[in-house]
Amino acid sequence: MKGLKRIIVSIVCSVLLIMLLSSNVKDNSNITIVIATTPAAGSAAGPLFYDENIGRLSDRPGYRAELLLQAGKLCHADIKFTLVPWKRALHLVEHGGADAAFSSSYKTERAVYGAYPMKDGKPDTYRAIRGYSYLLFIHKMSDLKWDGKKISGSGKKIAVERGSAGVDIVKNLGLQPVELNNEQHMLQMLTARRVDGMATIEGNVKAVINREPLFARQIEILQPAIKSKYGYLMFSKDFYGKHTQLTECIWNAVGDIRASAQYKALVKSYNTSKSSD
């Protein structure tokens, strides 16, 4: 009888062990994270994320793309990018079409549906993807002036990326934002003198100019920066609620990788190949 009890106990323990191991395998299996981003955000720090000729992520997708791919590996997650206009990227995160948005500045209206890395009730800049500045670009024949406080001149129409923080920046300066999908279109409008200026992220514009240097001959950059911000990997609150530990792991990895000597060397490798922002 005692032998039978030992056999039963042994079987029960074996079943429990198998269940535990199965649970651990499931918990440790890679989760795919879909990140919505714009092509310009990738090209600002290297070549385009996606190579249409080979139908997959480029071997050199940009150092910020590599940053996120490495963070994914460290946290046992598969990172996938989907390329869309910025306003569409925010829409996808809000309505469940993507898990996160690449390099989103903190805005209270976005924080309603988006989760940011926080510290002491404020966005944690250590765990940001990048710091960046909005600059004012004008046509060389424009009379617009910027003294660091206000914009003066006859022009009032300023091109901005649709749905970006630049919309509010331009409005707060008392000017009229003209929302366009990307920097390529904005530069075309500016060089054609259909807008009076453009307020956008410096690196994104330089990436377009690197590909089409004719733009550079017609525009002028006014200093100082209009606004400096930080961009974060903004997850949907739904994803954060379901995968809190993974999300925090990704944010922590982003901060630690950015602070490392290896990442600085990676950035330098892109800079020397004239692919950086």
Given this model, what pLDDT does residue 29 score?
A: 59
Given this model, what pLDDT does residue 41 score?
A: 59
- CB-count burial class (<10 Å; 0-12, 13-18, 19+) for 94: middle
Q: CA-CA distance, 62 to 67, in Å (whole number)? A: 9
Can you tell me which residue has the tokens 């946290």?
Answer: 75
Spacing of C-alpha 110 from chain mean position:
14
CATH topology of domain 133-229: D-Maltodextrin-Binding Protein; domain 2 (3.40.190)
Instruction: Decide yes or no: CATH 3.40.190.10 for domain 32-130+231-272.
Output: yes
Q: Which helix (H) or strand (E) holds 68?
A: helix 63-74
Taking the CA atoms of residue 242, residue 245, residue 247 and residue 249 in that order, the dihedral angle to the nearest 10 degrees is: -160
8 Å CB contact between 219 and 190: yes
Given this model, what pLDDT does residue 8 score?
A: 41
Given this model, what pLDDT does residue 207 score?
A: 72
Closest by CA position to 215, among listed 187, 182, 186, 181: 187
Q: CA-CA distance, 52 to 224, in Å (whole number)? A: 37
Q: CA-CA distance, 88 to 204, in Å (whole number)? A: 18
Given this model, what pLDDT does residue 269 score?
A: 83
Given this model, what pLDDT does residue 21 score?
A: 31
* From-to residues of CATH 3.40.190.10 in the chain: 32-130+231-272, 133-229
Residues whose CB is less than 8 angstroms from the CB of residue 217 and which lie 6 or more positions away in sequence, other chains included: none
Tens of each residue's pLDDT in the chain, 277 residues: 544 444 343 333 333 333 333 333 334 358 999 999 887 655 544 435 555 554 556 677 788 888 999 999 999 999 998 888 889 999 999 999 999 999 999 999 999 999 999 999 999 999 999 998 899 999 999 999 999 988 888 888 999 999 888 999 999 988 999 999 888 899 999 999 999 999 998 878 877 887 788 888 899 999 999 999 999 999 999 999 999 999 999 999 999 999 999 999 988 887 775 433 3
Q: At what angle do helices 63-74 and 261-272 cross, to 10 degrees?
A: 150
8 Å CB contact between 232 and 117: yes
Given this model, what pLDDT does residue 154 score?
A: 84
User: Which SS3 state, helix, strand or coil, does residue 231 take?
Assistant: strand
